[in-house]
Chain A
Amino acid sequence: MAKMRVDNPEIHYKGNVFSRLFAYVKPHRGKLVLCMFLVLVLTALNLYQPLLIGHAIDDCIEGYYYPYVYDNAGDISFGGDTLRKLDDAKNLEGESFAVILNYNDAYYFFENLDKGSASELLKLRDVPESMTADGDTLSVSGKYSGTLLTEDELSVLRKTDREGLIRTAVIYSIVLLVVAICSILNRFTLESMGQSIIYTIRNELFSHIHSLPLRYFDTNPVGRIVTRVTNDVESLNNMYTQVIVRLFENSVLIIGYAVVMISIDLKLALISFAFLPVVFVITMWLRTASRKIYRVVRTKISALNTFLSENLSGMKIIQVFNREKEKGQEFEGRTTDLYKTQMKELMIVWIFRPIIFLIANVALAVIIYNAGGNVLAGTLTLGTMYVFINYIRSFFEPIQELADQFATLQNALASAEKIFTVLDEENPIKESETPVSLDKVRGKIEFRHVWFAYENEDYVLRDVSFIINPGERVAFVGATGAGKSSILNLIGRYYEIQRGQILIDDVDIRALSTAEIRRAIGQVQQDVFIFTGDIKSNIRLLDDEISDAEIESSSVAVNADRFINQLPKRYDEPVTERGATLSAGQRQLLSFARTLAYDPSILVMDEATANIDTETEELIQDALKTLMEGRTTIMVAHRLSTIQHADCIHVMHKGKIRESGTHQELLEKNGIYKKLYEIQKQ
């Protein structure tokens, strides 16, 4: 048999992985477009949120910056006058004005000012050196004097500011609600898309795997195939849900931040951007380094788990061989090694992740310093400074997320390559496009000059020819590796021959559908495979057309009913994985019942090696007789005693049929068979 592929030499998938991955998104285009749209809305709203608060600060909380005009149509009545708040401090329209100044966290009111005085006061309010407070009055450059405002008076004067504040709060709440709804919708749509896609890929993969020839299963361990269907597909999910749209989202977000920051203040924006490449490079480096060591950690963990599960199953051997101490030391050695590697991994994360925080912190300080200077110079308002500080605090998040997404993408691409390699695995056994259909397989089998090798030119069968007529019993004997079992495999077209022809009922098997051939063949195998389920489901497998009555009659016919009837739930008795609760003999009988229930015309048997007690052995021999009745039977035998009654015995040696004939004829020939017989007789 071919050797197992040890590592993963098959992962050299060439071809466009991306376009293939995107092909699965096609049926979900609508959803994807919706998500992209939602992302745009969300990004805009997310950028808008700090602006709203900045506005609240500048126009409402800092609203005393704006002067009042005496206007009978105004909405503020203060001390018998009617006032209206202006929304522009530069362009004063009206005749008489009032202004509020802040000095040492106290507010003073300057009434009845003409346009000139009001303008001068508005300029002087940034020059605290010009002010002197004396009790309830504040005098500014000796010219103007204002009175201290009480809390109640301030409330009245700043009525519109409070109203504006509440308006902002309402808008902010609406924005929050819209953001919440949109992002729930966005995430949910993405997840359902991802789940649908991986569901589709899984089904496709599973069907494809079962369509592959046995050769594939000879060379690929079960564990690896299971990983393809489970973990590898799962990591694709992450790509569909977390990468495609998030990559877009974060790119939009970074651009959005950049645009808004530039529009607010070019110089501050440029200073902020200077930090980006540093953050990006460090983040990428950190991701690569930690991923590398993380892989080592994963390998060590799984090695430790393998060690554990093996040693727990073999604990009896350890104890009987008195090796507890040595195994304990070996285990400690492994855990210490794992611990050290884990600590290395953690150190990288612990040391370098805070560095990003530090950079963000420095960026914050630099922005505060520069923005503060601008505020002092009067070129920036406090609200805008607040907005900027807010932006710089969240500016680095999308960058770090981008790095995460690249990592996810890399993992997903690696998995995708493995998955596509399996999906591209071709079945060399080509089904005929116009298969000949046999009404009822009679069971004639012919081999014509068949040459067959599992690998390359190592021929297991060399020019083998024979004919088996319907209903005949034919046995193949020979040493291990003589090619006996290969003949059984070839009849069911599990492997493709290199030269010659195999015919069933005089039709080349390549012209028949493999399903039809295999349905006509009943296989009795050495190693009986039992599925999790119950006795019944193991006899009928997944074919609902086999009735309970048929199951029972098949079981009776092959003597399996005796042990089944002793089980508490008889045919409904659950059987665990691999049939661990059943003895080897019981498993064998169960497989006979299975074979009989499917009523094949050809019976193919690989004789079991004698691992069964005598009594069960008798039941099995008896059951075999029932099975063989009226069926073409081909058997591979190890013990001559079981095949003496065959219609024809073929003696195989090194891939060739050396002798053929009945038991008696072969003995008379005085050849290999006679020699084999003499050896076993002893």
Chain B
Amino acid sequence: MKAKKEKTKVIMPLLGRYGIHYAIGLIMLFTVDYVNLYIPEFIGNVIDGLESFTLDLNGILTICLRIVICGLIIVAGRFLYRLFIFGSARKIERRLRDMMFSKLELLSQRYYNEHKTGDIMSYFTNDLEAVRMAIGPAIVSAFDASVLTVMVLIRMITKVSVSLTLYTLIPMGVIAIFGYFYGELIEKRWAKKQESIAALSDFVQESVSGERVIKAFVQEKAQERAFDKVNDANRKTAMNVQKLDSAFGPVLHFLVGVTYVVAIVVGGGYTIKGEMTLGSFVTFNYYIGSLIWPMLALGDSVTLVSQGIAGINRIHQVFDEPQDIVDDPEPDNVTELEGEIEFNDVTFRYRDDLPLAVDGVSFKIEKGETLAILGRTGAGKTTLVNLLTRVYDIDSGSITLDGHKIKKIPLSVLHENIAYVPQDNFLFSDTLAGNISFGKIGASREEIEKAAKSADIHDNIMEFPEGYETMVGERGVTLSGGQKQRSSIARAILKNSPILILDDALSAVDTDTEERILDNLKRDRKGITTIMIAHRVSTVQNADHILVLEDGRIIEYGTQDELLSRDGAYASMFRKQQLESELSMVE
């Protein structure tokens, strides 16, 4: 019910805003259609006048001038209706696109986990285009299919003959039905063809990406055979479209021809009997020509409108998506945070049917302390961090910052006070300078370089020909995993927040670099509360406290010395990594 109500909220006000534009556009369209019908009539007038000798050369000239004037009106009218109708559709499309992006920015990771990027992208591409077609060309098609048809029919009946009009309506109806079914059928086959070309593209993409494996395992011939199958399937689906498409034009042409035959036999018969003038007969033939487009427009508009409705319904799913991570209606009055973090019996699960990802976790980090979190893949380390940054909201328990429940802290304040280095080192297609200053808009070059030096990436950046202006991503250099990690550390350092989170942020750098970065952090970022997720003992041994997670529960917590003397999971991990170096000492 709620969704239904929302529906009218997005598209209708937009259409309403351009209501006058649409009205003017439709008036223009009507004018064009109306004037267009005068041309066949003028031609008929000339022929009749010539036949009955009531027209002289001056008379013909007058009519010819009228034809040219009609042409001018049509040209102006066509431009104007396109400007008003198609132009408005474009404006609405742009507005919808912006609105959709803003809405998506408000949705939490929960939404992004359930929706693939490719699927969300299709809202912006396919669905938005379907909507634009429905509020642009479909309106013109529908108008022509209805109003133009009626206008032509009225003229046929009043200016020519009722019975002749009725006779020609039969093949015309067939054309309309034919056009509609053709549209339905070709749409389906076209979709199949698109699927098969996408499959072909995916195959090549994967095959080329796996080139090394293919060469190493001498799979070239096998790949060729597999590709041949995909290629052949693509050819077949393409031919399915082509079979239908090849027939459409000729069949339409044939049906139109049949309409003319009917007009010749019946209309010609009337003319012979003197019931109809030759000019009317010729005019009628031209009217038939003007009816073909509205007949096809009928099928077009039905298809376009139904696709548009499907598109807007899908787009509405985005707008209807409830926002689950929101500011508290009565937030605490905090603008700055010190960095004291406390988890109190926190539980959380990703979905109701999944086991607890975080199970009764409690700990406290004093301002300026460093907490290291260890644990196996899937133990819940990243989840803890995601709960602190409110990427997800906890199910029960509480998380407090400086004594404020995080839900009571405005999201913008919370995020402004946490610097975060994610596990996947996501960088934007921007310059390195742009990426590093992402957390602090308008940072000076000195600040950027200082952060880069702390993250031990400055020297690498200076080696690029364009230095800090080097573009990252597809259109620029491809950074190594370590370089990406260090850039993303520099980004967090520059943000200069009281809380710093490093989520397995040093995994791709060697131990030397790791040590340098950790030293830099210790020196430059005194008094910063730090949470560090890691696998290596070397990374965590300088932390104030170490927390070991397993299956979402804390199994060990304490200082390194405490944990070593406890002789538990951490101690065993420490020994294993230590053992190797000791063994080599003995040998």
Contact = CB atoms under 8 A, between A and B. Distances in A.
Contact of A151 (B200, B245, B275): B275
B439 interface: yes
A102 B52 contact: yes
B415 A331 contact: no
Contacts of B253: 176, 179-180, 183
Interface in B240-273: 242-243, 245-247, 249-251, 253-254, 257-258, 260-261, 264-265, 268-269, 271-273
A619 interface: no
A86 interface: no
A313 B201 CA distance: 22
A372 interface: yes
Interface residues of A, number: 157
Contacts of B536: 610
Interface string A325-338: 01110011001101
B61 interface: yes
Contacts of B441: 326
B37 interface: no
B63 A598 contact: no
A373 interface: yes
Contact of B222 (A307, A320, A358, A543): A543
Interface string B277-314: 11001100100000000000000000000000000000
A87 B274 CA distance: 20
B278 A382 contact: yes
Contacts of B391: 316, 319-320
A577 B86 CA distance: 40
Contact of A230 (B200, B273, B512): B200
A610 B576 CA distance: 14
Given A225-B204, A335-B97, A614-B573, A598 B242 contact: no
A315 B415 CA distance: 13
A53 B273 contact: no
A542 interface: yes
Given A180-B254, A354-B74, A615-B376, A375 B439 contact: no
B121 interface: yes
Contacts of B412: 322
B275 A355 contact: no
A305 B128 CA distance: 13
Contacts of A168: 264
Interface residues of B, number: 153
Contact of B204 (A165, A226, A364): A226
A316 B105 CA distance: 9
Interface stretch (A441-449, A499-507, A638-646): A638-646
A78 interface: no
Contacts of A180: 250-251, 253-254
A184 B246 contact: yes
A199 B55 CA distance: 63
A33 interface: no
Interface stretch (A110-118, A216-224, A397-405, A652-660): A216-224
B239 A222 contact: no
B535 A541 contact: no
A308 B54 contact: no
B102 interface: yes
B370 to A, nearest CB: 20
Interface stretch (B9-17, B180-188, B209-217, B345-353): B209-217
A679 B512 contact: yes
Interface stretch (B160-168, B228-236, B330-338): B228-236
For B223, B231, B441, the residue with the greatest tally of chain A CB atoms inside 10 Å of its CB is B231
B114 interface: no
B146 interface: no
A222 B208 contact: yes
A531 B210 contact: yes
B225 A354 contact: no
B496 interface: no
Given A165-B269, A681-B584, A525 B212 contact: yes
B274 A105 contact: yes
Interface string B576-587: 110011011101
B215 A494 contact: yes
A196 B236 CA distance: 10
28 contacts: A4-B478, A53-B264, A61-B268, A128-B53, A176-B257, A176-B258, A180-B251, A183-B253, A188-B247, A199-B235, A202-B200, A206-B204, A210-B224, A211-B220, A229-B204, A230-B200, A309-B121, A310-B473, A315-B112, A318-B105, A339-B90, A343-B90, A358-B72, A368-B60, A525-B212, A542-B222, A611-B508, A681-B584
Shortest 10 CB-CB contacts between residues of A and residues of B: A361-B71, A542-B222, A187-B246, A322-B415, A176-B257, A191-B242, A372-B60, A365-B64, A354-B75, A180-B254
